[in-house]
Amino acid sequence: MNGIEKLIKFFSVNPDKLDPENDNFHTATIFNFYSAITILLLLIFSIINIIGASYLNFFIAFSVLTILIINHFWFKAKVNLKSALHIYTLVLSAYFLWLIFAGNIYNQGILVFGFYPLLFVALLGSKKGTKASLIFFPLSIIGLIMPYFFETIFDFSVSYIILYVLLFIGSLIFANICLTLLEQKQNKLITAKEEAQKETLAKEDFISKISHQIRTPLNNIVVVTNIVNNSKLDEKQRDLIDTIQASTNNLVNVVNNIAELSNVDILQSKDYNQYFNLETTISNTINLFADVNSNDISFPINISDELNYQLYGDPVKIKQIFLNLIENILKNARSGKKTIQLDINSQNEQKNTIDIVFKISTHDFVHIPEITKIQNTIKSQKERNAALIKLLDLNIANRSIDSIGGTIDIDVTPDLFKFEFIIQFTKGSLMTEITKTEEESSIQEIKSDTAIKLSDANVLLVEDNLINQKIVLLSLKKAVKNVDVANNGKEALDKFGSIKYDVILMDIQMPIMNGIVTTKKIRNIEKSSNTHTPIIAITANALLGDKEECLAAGMDDYISKPFQIETLIKKIEQHLG
């Protein structure tokens, strides 16, 4: 790092208080530099004046010095750049004009003021800087030519006044040219960035379609191979089937890697802002981890009693955050029984809004040496958080939180991992005790209605692909009582309206009416009858946000092609019970 870079870093604003990506970050650095230099010069002037017994000049200089020192440290504490700039330029301009009108500056000194537009434009920008310069300029000219009309003890040379005018106008033009060229360069970079983002999105869309097209036939191969493998085969046939199965599994891993590498930017994803029950959203997300290992994991949830109303926001992103966090905590957790604690509290409650603090913590996190290195070498909390997020692969949660204006803090010790973030929501209607009782009773009713055996289940398969229909029918016909087929969402609604189904298997991409729209319509129908039919998404979509979109539409579970038929049957059993 060279001397200039060290100087810039010294005068830079704390990243914890102002994001380095913010457009004002560089202006704040320039302001810090100008402010510090001005304070130093005024301190020297004050000392010179007190030594020379020029008490009035000392009083004025010291007063300006005091104001600028207060402004400087107030800015460092609050980082209110706009107010700090206005105070700085106004006070400094007034002091410079006083120097001219009081005759406390010599001919050569007025030439220094000729470069004043450089300061104005650099701090205030082209428009405001030019306006401030054009206000200061005529006032300074009045002070310079005043001795020619009134008797004063001082005067300025005409040649120096002309030089001052030329310097001032030249500096103003030069500053605006430089700023315009800089803005043009920035605009080109912004345009290039936007084009790159469009290209990335186009590639993501292409990968998504390719992934979908590969997964559907691949799933059929997996299912058929399993069916054949369970039949009577001779040694040579079984060897051939095993080879197909091994090759298919390798291809499944390749497709999964493609989906993982195709990390769609959350900032470009859809918004699902709506009124929602926070406790229900969190509980439903936690329930997704209720699998065969659920006995080894516990999720104590502590939600403040003050959060007794609905919230308006994006429940999909909340689910994305918790899915990413819990998955990565479990990935880095010790073996054996694990506890992941969730604490949710409110703060800064206003009339219509509330800030909610989410804390996810565990004492079962494995020791990672790189974490200790990050904590010992990086002093800035923001930079330390960024490094930990990258190390622990929490980018999805981080971008989700950032996209809805949240703030993040990570604390890792040998005994504790804690991830904390704050998100502001709009408050909705209160959830009264009567409503809670009705919801609890309806849930009990639903559970009692759906607690049936797998062999007695009546299943609706919503799938437009004939081959896929055949594969699922072959797989399920011996496991369940009956399977009806709907070729699209409209047919599914017609069948749902006339027949009671115990579970619905829903494809997403279908003609006429897709699975998302169909699910929403089914849930609207169920509201009037106080019933609930489990819906499991069976989809070839496996990119970031697909699972959350299905859950937000009202689906109960999600399975991505290709899958093992045992996995599907297990999910059906879970939701039937």
CATH classification of the domain holding 517: 3.40.50.2300
Mark whether 28 and 153 lie in a shared domain. yes
Mark whether 426 and 452 lie in a shared domain. no
**Residue 79 domain-assigned (yes or no):** yes
Select the more confidently predicted residue: 505 or 202.
505
CATH classification of the domain holding 419: 3.30.565.10
Q: Pairing mode, if any, of strands 297-298 and 338-347?
A: parallel
Q: In this predicted model, what pLDDT tens digit does every residue of 387-440 receive, in sequence order? A: 888 888 787 788 778 878 887 888 888 778 888 999 888 888 776 543 454 455
Would the pLDDT of 181 be above 60?
yes
**Residue 370 domain-assigned (yes or no):** yes
Please report the beta strands in 89-147, taking only residues with DSSP state E, as ranges in sequence order.
none
Mark whether 296 and 394 lie in a shared domain. yes
**The pLDDT value given to residue 242:** 62
Mean of the per-residue pLDDT values of the chain: 80
Q: Which of 194, 224, 247 is the last residue of a domain?
A: 194
- The separation between CA 529 and the C-alpha centre of its own chain, rounded to angstroms, equals 38
**Is the CB of residue 406 less than 8 Å from the CB of residue 389?**
no
Structure tokens at 211: 């992934």
Q: How many CA atoms lie within 13 A of 96 on its CB side?
A: 21
Mark whether 561 and 427 lie in a shared domain. no
**The pLDDT value given to residue 183:** 86
Q: Which of 143, 173, 194 is the last residue of a domain?
A: 194
Q: How many domains does the chain have?
A: 3
Mark whether 7 and 67 lie in a shared domain. yes
Lowest-confidence region among 103-107, 292-296, 333-337 = 292-296
**Is the CB of residue 577 less than 8 Å from the CB of residue 487?**
no
Mark whether 484 and 567 lie in a shared domain. yes
SS3 category, 1: coil
Q: How confident is the model at residue 264 (pLDDT cuts 50, 70, 90)?
A: very low
- 466: containing domain: 446-577
Q: Which of 129, 160, 194 is the last residue of a domain?
A: 194
For residue 481, the 8-state DSSP code is S
**Residue 409 domain-assigned (yes or no):** yes
At position 460, the amino acid (one-letter code) is L
The pTM of this model reads: 0.44
Q: Give burial (CB, 10 Å; 0-12/13-18/19+) of 85.
A: buried
**The pLDDT value given to residue 6:** 66
**The pLDDT value given to residue 448:** 44
Mark whether 493 and 556 lie in a shared domain. yes
Q: 336 — alpha (psi -120 to 50), left (phi > 0) or beta? A: left
